[in-house]
Structures are given as structure tokens and as C-alpha cells.
Structure 1
Amino acid sequence: MSHFPLEGLLVVDLTQIYNGPYCTYLLALNGATVIKIEPPGGESLRRRGVVGGAGLPFAMLNGAKKSLALDLKSEEGRKAFLELIGKADVLVENFSPGTMDRLGLGYDRLKALNPRLIYAASSGFGSTGPYKKYPAMDLTVQAISGVMETTGFADRPPVKAGPALCDFFAGIHLHSAVMTALFDREKTGTARRVEVAMQDAVYASLSSSLGLWWGGHGGKDAPPRTGNRHAGMAEAPYNVYPASDGWVAIICVGEVHWQRLSTLMGKPELQEDARFGDLAARVAHIDEVDAIVGEWTRTRTKQEIFAALMEAGVPGAPVRNLDEVVHDENMHARGALQHQDHPEYGEIIVQQSPMRFDGLTPMTIPPSRRLGEDTYEVLGAMTSLSQDEIAVILGRAEGAKGGTSNAKV
């Protein structure tokens, strides 16, 4: 029977919303035992479930984890937490810097308790520097990091990216930091604190826009937004073009792609036209390039264009809506998306880890747990708390929820 790479690794998870939970979700899908600890009322993302389908993201990011409800300000909650830390390999948190210290549960105390603990933290701007006390969410980091200023069209206001890029970029980097620290611990025996700032994590994604700025084509007063064109204005064609039933994205990375596209459009003579003879010339005449390509695409359907591009070996894709994306045949065929019968949300579709390991079949993802569902089981098995102390913890969770706990004493 195959074993997942992180089996035997114990992770204590204090994360919330998107950033930290995605990091610990990736750890869980690779076999780590992840104990998600939430306050008795539940973390913020879980509470969003009262608004329409807003509960789905929680289910998408917290499957394959155990759920504990602990009040870390209470004596019993802190005792339980510290006993779990004594056994843990990794702690992950994405509170504002200083929060854990104010709880009396900062890095120095936890390291003294467990010298082999990898302490992983993520926040908007990091624990050092002049921004360290600033509150941060994906929207505000998109604004301050340059993402919004480089998204949209030059003659219109800046626009946020649709996906929560800063949160998830940070979560991916946090996962990488944890794995790097674990590797270092195995080699040297030294366990470290690692951190990832959302602002730091997103900077490299501005590469194309920074190329345009650095190359002197703009300057600080030039509008950097290029719409659907290349952010560095260094590729043509590179745009989203109209189809008879929507839109299609097309890019020619090399000369061979332009040759194939011009032939596909029935205009091989463009290859001999000095205006389009090489990349620099096409960028200089980018409006004409886009007009020619758009004239060809607008009379055809998205699927017709896509099929023709794939046959010709030209990079392109239809612009799909979310319903089409959720039912993408390639992602389902690869197991990247899985149907899941969730006890709270019914039939949903959740994402598998993008990582694949030769000879290892990705796990069938267990649904996210109800708040505190594993509190009794985990504390009974992994701590020295008495039945009475566990009962107090469960009582606080029930009181905060205004209902009855799913865990039983």
C-alpha cells in the first residue's frame, strides 16, 4: 500500500480565511495529520456560510483536517493547545503579527516547550518593517502591491484581480517555507520560525509590468494598465479577441506561432509584410495586428477557434465561465477536481492538490468537519486533560454556537 509523503507529520493549524488554510490543506492532502483549531464560534471563513454559497470556500480549503474548538484565552484551552504543541512538528498561523505573543503563546515559549517545532507564520506585511501593524486582506494587498494598478485598461480606473491572488500566493509560499524548514531540520536538527508576507509573495508576479517600467517605455506618470494585452507590451498578438459567442485568448510567443496563425487565418502574406515581420515590428503595429486577428475570430465560435488553434499548434483558449471551469473535462480526468458528498453542503466539487507524485494516487478528500467535531477524540487521545476539563472545553464550544456539540463525552 502506498504511503503519502507527509504521513506521521503532525500539524497544528491556527489559520483562517484563505492564506494559511490553503497551506495546511496542501499539507493534509500529502498525508500530514492536520488539527485545525478554531475559537468556539468558528473562524471567519466558516461564519461566512450564512451568506448564500459562501460556505463552499471553507469546505474547499479544510477537507482532510480534524476540527477542534478551543478558547485559547481559557485555562483549559491553553493547556490543551500547549500539550498538542508538545507533540507537533509544525504550527501554522496567519494572525496579525504579535497576536500569539499577546496570548502568551509566542514563538519563544513554544520553541522552549518543543525545540523541534517548525513555527510558520503569514501576514499581510510581515513581522518587521514599517507596515507590520497594518491590517491586511487580499483586496488591500492587491492595492498596495501594484496588482490593482496593473490590472484593467489604461483609460479606466484600476481593477482588482478576480481571484484572491495575494492570499493564495502567500499560502503556496508558506507551504514551501514549511517544507524547506522540515528538510533543514532533518539535515541539521535545527527547527526554525519561518514567515511569508503577502506583499512579498506577490511582487514577482509583476515581472512583465516591471519590465515595461524598467525599460523606460512608461515612467512613473505613464498608465501601466494594458488591458488584455501583454503587461510588458512585449508580445503581439497577445490579447482577448471577440468570437461569435464570446471571447478567445490568443498569444504568439515565437515567430513560428505567428507564421502558423497567419496561415490559419488565410493571410500567409502577412509574413512578408514589414509591419509584421518580427516581434518588434508587430508590437509597434499592435493595433493593426489586433484588428486583423479580431476580424478573423469574430465570425467563428469559441470552440471552432480553439480547435483550429490547437490543430495548428498556436497557444490559445476560449474564455470560459465558472460553470464551464467547474466541469472542465481535463481537470476531472486528472483528478484535479473531485465530486464530494458533503454532510453540510450536499454535492460539491473540491480541488485536489496540484502536486503529483509518481506511483501515488491522490487521496479521496474527506469533507471538512463540523466545528469542534473532533475535539473530544483528539484531546482524549493526545493530551492528559481529564474528562472534566474536556467537558468544560466542549461546553464553551456549545455555548458559543448556541447549539449542541457534535462531539460527545
Structure 2
Amino acid sequence: MNTEASVAQDDQATGALAGIRVLELGTLIAGPYCGRLLGDMGADVIKIEAPDRPDPLRDWGQGGQKLFWRVHARNKRCVSLDLRTDAGREILLELARTADIVVESFRPGTLERWGIGYDVLSEINPRLILVRVSGYGQTGPYSARPGYASVAEGISGLRHLNGFPGEAPPRIALSLGDSLGGMFAFQGALAALYARERTGRGQVVDAALSEASLAIQESTVPDYQKAGHVRQASGTRLDRVAPSNIYKSKDGLWVIIAANQDTLWMRLAAAMGRPELGTDPRYADHNARGDRQDELDEMIAEWAGQYTADDLVAILNEHQVVNGPVNTVAEVMVDPQFNARGMFVDHDDPSLRPGDDGYDPEPVTGVGVIPKLSDTAGGVRFGGASRPGTHTDEVLEEVLGYDTETLVRLRDAGTIA
């Protein structure tokens, strides 16, 4: 914690990062997702938006409901501050003196053009950690390019691995590259906090969406470097990892069955009423099953199709075979395991009151906080504020000691909103 000025945002601040102050700059998903993860673990996250250009994520959602923002901006206090003005930059630097981490997701060079690069930030606060999230990183021939998740997934080779052989590589219906970039940025922020305990100094964390998408690709690089093997899309299964696929039940539902270890294969063979297959040399080890992957899939599909999904899952569980349904979000939300673990939590909007436009008495439900810590658990203290600048006065009064006269002057000048 930056002991010079960091304070808990309220008396109920909890979590492993309680007392850590974060300034979040930037918009949309990757950088703000890092900020969300820090806030989930108890950090006081102050999100700074331009008065005339708030985060576009505020308008994202389905059916006219702008709910993407509500769960992505949870645990963040929203401040409207124009960083393109001298006064706005001075306020940011004042806030940076009190902060532990700044998270930014602008195109590389933007902070430097505004005169608030890490050279300036670290001079006023040597303990400050700057987390930079971008498409390609802060250096290299592509660094100045704008970067989105879809392109990061493509250039990293991740998109090539998705879909079915010979077909156009689809994307998952999520901004996966953004989420991966945000998660690696969060990991870097935690590592830098730990290093600061030893060195007493902050540093720059440089997280790229393209590199995050590359980093999760298991052994694809050494497979190519040593064996010349280019992993291809493999549809609903992994090539030569067998049996592990989805199989349709009698009632038309898909069930995942994963028995690609020797012991699991023997259990599945017993569940199918054919225990002799478990020790049959044609299927007894990993390579043998990989050689006969299509044959195994046909065999298991024929067996699975005799049972309803519920009966199939019951048989597999009885024999301790790894299995599970392919759920929609509607099914996920009633799943007893997720509910027993508290994975659905309410997100109240602190900026709206009865009578306000957009007020909804029913709270928004979102996904809970993971991982779960036994002693310093994080949580959702409040959902994202629907109104930009909800906490501007609160933050500037509490953190910087501004009085009403100063706030009025800054608001009249358009520096804050």
C-alpha cells in the first residue's frame, strides 16, 4: 500500500487488496477488466472518463438493457475528468501521488503525448505501478497499431485453432482476447505489487492482447519448432486426445464425456457394459486410443444415444467418468453447483434513485468473484454506476481535499463533470 496517502474507501472495505488505490484510464474491455479484477479483490478503483466521451461500454447490452457496463464497472468509483486540459492533467497527477496502480489501455504513446507518461508519474510517485494494456505491447513494429480482441486472436494463431477443419475459423461469442489481456495484466499488477515490497519501487507492466492469446496455446510452438507440426482446428474434440468429445443423448441434448486417461477409459468401458475394452490393446493407452479416435467416437455415440441426458449423466457419475452437459446461460443460472458456490450476486447501481430515468428496483445479477480466498475474500460492494461522474465530487473531496468552491470552478471550466 502507498502509505503516504492511500486510505480505505469506506469502513466496509474488504478483500486482499483493501487499501490499495487504483486509477483506471481507458475504455471498453481489456484494461477495464483488469481494473474490475483489482476491484473484486478489494482495491479502491477510481475510473476516470472524459466528460464528453464516457466509456462506450456504457451503451453495450442486449434488448435495450445496457448491462455489460453494470457488471464490468462494479466496485469502481466514476470520475469525469478531461485529461486533454492542463487542469485535468494536474488533477490526475495529484491523484497519482495517492495511488498504488494506474491501469491504462490507450494506444501506446498516448500518455506520453499528454505529458503524463511513466517518467512523469514515477517522478512524483516512485512506488507507482503503471499497468499498460494494448493490442501488441508498448514496443515492436506493430505497437502503434490499434488492436482489438478479434485481431489479437487471429494474429496469435488462436483463431486458427477454432472451428472445424476446412471451414472459416469462427470466433467464440465473447471478446476472448480482451479478457485474456485483462487477466494477464491483473497477474502482472499483483506481481509488481509483490516486487515493490522488496524493492520499494514501482514499475511498468506491459500486457498485450496478442501475446495473451498466444500464451495460452499449450505446446503449439514447440510442436512446430521441433516436429514441424501445425496444430489445426479439430471441431468438437482435440486431435488424438480420445475419447473426449460431445455426444448426443436420446432426448437430443449434448453431453461431454472425457475419458482420455487410461483409468478413466477403463471406467467408461465398464459404464458401457463392456469392461473388456478397458484392457483391449487397441484402446489401452493414450497413443492407441489416438490412432482409433474416430472408431471410439462412433462407439460411444451409439451407446450414449440410447439414454436421456439425465440418465446418461447418472450412469457416468456412478462410474466416476468425467462428464457434463453443454449448458446455456439459462441452465447455468439454475445449476446447483454454481448456486451453492455463490456465483451469482446482485449489482446495485449507486447512482440511481426512485424516480430517476432508468431506475430499476430489481438489482442486476452478475457473476461472482473468483478465486475464493478463505481469509480475505473479495466481493461486489456495488455495481457500475449508470451515470458518468457519479463519484467525482466524492473522490476529489475525500482524496484531494477539494472544497465546494474549487469543484464549482472546475465544473464551470469543463475540467470535471
Give me the TM-score of the superposition, normalised by structure 2: 0.87
Q: Tell me by how many angstroms 1:273 deviates.
A: 3.6
| Deviation by residue 1:117-137 (Cα, 9 ceiling, x = unmatched) | 111111111011111012111
Residues 375 and 394, structure 1, Cα contact 8 Å, conserved in 2: no
Matched, 1:313 2:320: yes
Mapping of 1:105-124 within 5 angstroms? 105-124=116-135
- CA 1:362/1:311 → structure 2, altered by over 3 Å: closer, same or farther? farther
Q: Which of 210, 226, 239 matches 2:234?
A: 226
The 10-residue stretch of structure 1 (20-29 or 339-348) with the greater mean CA deviation from structure 2? 339-348
Question: Residue by residue, what CA displacement relative to the aligned partner does 1:4-62 show, whole Å, maximum 9, x if unpaired?
Answer: 2222211111132121112111211222111110111311211335x635622211111
Secondary structure of 2:216's counterpart equals: helix
Query: CA contact under 8 A between 2:42 and 2:378: conserved in structure 1?
Result: no
- Decide which moves more: 299-308 or 26-35: 299-308
Q: Is the alpha carbon distance of 1:14 and 1:398 closer, same or farther for their aligned partners in structure 2, counting shifts above 3 Å?
A: closer
The residue that corresponds to 1:96 in the other structure is: 107
Q: Does the alignment pair 1:23 with 2:31?
A: no
| Distance (Å, rounded) in 2 between the aligned partners of 1:303 and 1:42 | 47
How many Å separate the matches in 2 of 1:212 and 1:303? Answer: 39
CA distance in 1, matches of 2:316, 2:246: 14
Question: Which residue of 363, 369, 390 corresponds with 1:347?
Answer: 363
Query: Shift of residue 263 of structure 1?
Result: 1.1
Q: Say which of 78, 94, 99 aligns to 1:83.
A: 94
- SS of the residue corresponding to residue 363 of structure 2 reads strand
Q: Which amino acid aligns with 2:364?
A: I
- In structure 2, C-alpha distance between the alignment counterparts of 1:64 and 1:148, rounded to whole Å: 32
Deviation by residue 1:334-380 (Cα, 9 ceiling, x = unmatched): 12221334455643222222122223454343121221001011112
Unaligned residue ranges in structure 2 (runs of 5+): 1-11, 353-358
Letter in 2 for 1:363: G
- Gaps in structure 1 of 5+ consecutive residues: 400-404
Query: Can you list the C-alpha shifts for 1:75-112, whole angstroms capped at 9, x where unaligned?
Result: 33222211111111111101110111111111111111
Q: 1:48 aligns with which of 40, 46, 60?
A: 60
d(CA) in 1 for partners of 2:229 and 2:43? 48
Residue 150 of structure 2 corresponds to residue 139 of structure 1: yes
Alignment of 1:105-184 (within 5 A): 105-184=116-195
AA of the residue aligned to 2:347 = Q
**Partner letter of residue 244 of structure 2?**
Y
Distance 2:292 2:226 in 1: 19
Letter in 2 for 1:240: I
| Alignment counterpart, residue 394 of structure 2, candidates 372, 377, 382 | 377
Question: Aligned partners of 1:63 and 1:165: how far apart in 2?
Answer: 20
Per-residue Cα deviation, 1:176-211 (whole angstroms, up to 9, x for no partner): 111111111111112111111111112232115556
Could you tell me how far apart the structure 1 residues matched to 2:26 and 2:339 are? Answer: 28
Normalized per residue, which structure has more helix? 1
Structure 1 residue identity aligned to 2:241: E
Q: How does 1:245-256 map to 2 (within 5 A)?
A: 245-256=252-263
Q: How many residues align?
A: 394
Cα 1:3/1:383, change in 2 over 3 Å: closer
SS at match of 1:276: coil
Which residue type is aligned with residue 59 of structure 1? R
1:261 to 2:273 alignment: no
Aligned to 2:242: 236
1:387-402 aligned within 5 A: 387-394=404-411
Q: Give the C-alpha shift of residue 272 in structure 1.
A: 4.5
* Shift, 1:384, TM fit: 5.4
After TM superposition, the structure 1 stretch with the greater mean CA deviation from structure 2, 167-176 or 305-314, is 305-314
Matched residue of 1:122: which SS? strand
Match of 2:4 in 1: none
Structure-2 change in CA distance of 1:389 and 1:2 (3 Å): closer
Q: 1:215 to 1:325 in 2, by over 3 A?
A: farther
Structure 1 residues 137 and 175: alpha-carbon distance in aligned structure 2, compared to 1, 3 A threshold: same
How far residue 332 of structure 1 moved from its aligned partner, in angstroms, is 2.3
Do the aligned partners of 2:192 and 2:203 also contact (CA within 8 Å) in 1? yes
CA drift of 1:395 comes to: 5.1
One-letter code aligned to 1:312: H
Percent identical residues = 32
Distance 1:2 1:59 in 2: 20
Scaled by the length of structure 1, the TM-score of the pair is 0.89
On the 8 A contact 1:260/1:314 being kept in 2, the answer is: yes
Q: Distance in 1 between matches of 2:301 and 2:222?
A: 27
Is the 1:39–1:71 contact (alpha carbons within 8 Å) kept by the matching residues of 2?
yes
Partners of 2:74 and 2:347 within 8 A in 1: no
Which among 362, 372, 375 is matched to residue 356 of structure 1?
A: 372
1:74 is displaced (CA, Å) by: 2.1
Aligned twin of 1:402: none
CA RMSD, 1 decimal: 2.5
Give the residue type in structure 2 aligned to 1:309: L
Which secondary structure state, in structure 2, belongs to the residue aligned with residue 160 of structure 1? Answer: coil
Letter in 2 for 1:377: E
